[in-house]
């Protein structure tokens, strides 16, 4: 399913027969990314919070893209060019994740470990996009010589759909922590 170069844009068909293009975020995408965040439900925003969603933050992100530090994938609908997914794959981990993993005896190495934070617009959830994205993310991580993918900020234990999704792709629960309720640290070891 993945192209030989996992960074290359790729057009796929969703279950509802809509064509979308999955590609790297570009500087010119800032207005569309702001609209994407504005369109997320409160529930989805509650599960996905790797950074603030305000226009200033989005404009800074789009003006300083560096895929060697953080790969930012988006998917756009070919019908209207709207962003329907935003996925981050960052080398290493944020300090709070690093501290939790270290307390479990697991060292996070930016050369071999990366953190994943995926989001999909509410209207596109359960449409087959998540499976494609995970395969693409894993291919990108392997291309970048990563050995392990951890969840950026963990996953909320109450988000049973996400927990099932990660388990389906081989992520294992390696720890629990409290932050606005119970959360799991989950990790996928790449072979």
For 110-138, how does the pLDDT look when each residue is reduced to its tens digit (9 = 90+)? 999 999 999 999 999 888 899 999 999 99
Six-digit token pair at 34? 């702001």
pLDDT value of position 2 = 46
pLDDT (tens digit, 9 = 90+) per residue, 44-83? 888 887 787 899 999 999 999 998 889 999 999 998 999 9
Contact 144, 157 (CB under 8 A): no
Q: Report residue 100: phi and psi, to 5°.
A: -65, -45
Helix (H, G, I), strand (E, B) or coil at 127: coil
Higher pLDDT, 141 or 126: 141
pLDDT value of position 49 = 77
CA–CA separation, 65 vs 59, rounded Å? 10
Q: Under 8 Å CB-to-CB from 74, ≥6 apart: which residues? A: 22, 23, 24, 25, 29, 33, 36, 83, 85, 86, 87
CATH homologous superfamily, domain 10-189? Gcn5-related N-acetyltransferase (GNAT) (3.40.630.30)
- Is the pLDDT assigned to residue 151 strictly greater than 60? yes
CA–CA separation, 78 vs 20, rounded Å? 5
Contact 71, 89 (CB under 8 A): yes
Q: How many other CB atoms are found less than 10 A from the CB of residue 133?
A: 20
H helix intervals, the chain: 30-39, 42-47, 55-63, 95-103, 129-143, 160-168
The DSSP bridge partners found for residue 188 are 149
Query: Minimal CA–CA distance to 29: which of 76, 92, 70?
Result: 76
Contact 147, 189 (CB under 8 A): yes
Six-digit token pair at 160? 């049973």
Instruction: Please state the rounded mean pLDDT for residues 168-173.
Output: 97
């Amino acid at each position: 399913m993945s192209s030989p170069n996992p960074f290359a844009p790729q057009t796929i068909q969703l279950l509802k027969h809509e064509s979308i293009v999955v590609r790297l975020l570009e500087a010119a995408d800032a207005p569309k990314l702001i609209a994407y965040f504005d369109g997320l439900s409160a529930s989805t925003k509650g599960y996905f919070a790797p950074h603030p969603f305000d226009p200033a933050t989005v404009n800074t992100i789009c003006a300083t893209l560096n895929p060697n530090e953080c790969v930012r994938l988006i998917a756009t609908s070919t019908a209207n060019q709207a962003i329907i997914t935003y996925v981050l794959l960052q080398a290493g981990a944020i300090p709070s994740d690093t501290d939790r993993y270290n307390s479990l005896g697991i060292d996070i190495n930016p050369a071999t470990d990366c953190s994943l934070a995926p989001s999909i617009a509410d209207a596109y959830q359960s449409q087959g996009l998540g499976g494609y994205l995970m395969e693409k993310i894993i291919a990108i991580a392997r291309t970048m010589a990563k050995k392990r993918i951890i969840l950026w900020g963990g996953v909320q234990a109450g988000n049973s759909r996400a927990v099932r999704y990660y388990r389906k792709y081989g992520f294992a629960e390696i720890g629990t922590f409290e932050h606005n309720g119970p959360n799991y640290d989950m990790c996928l070891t790449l072979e």
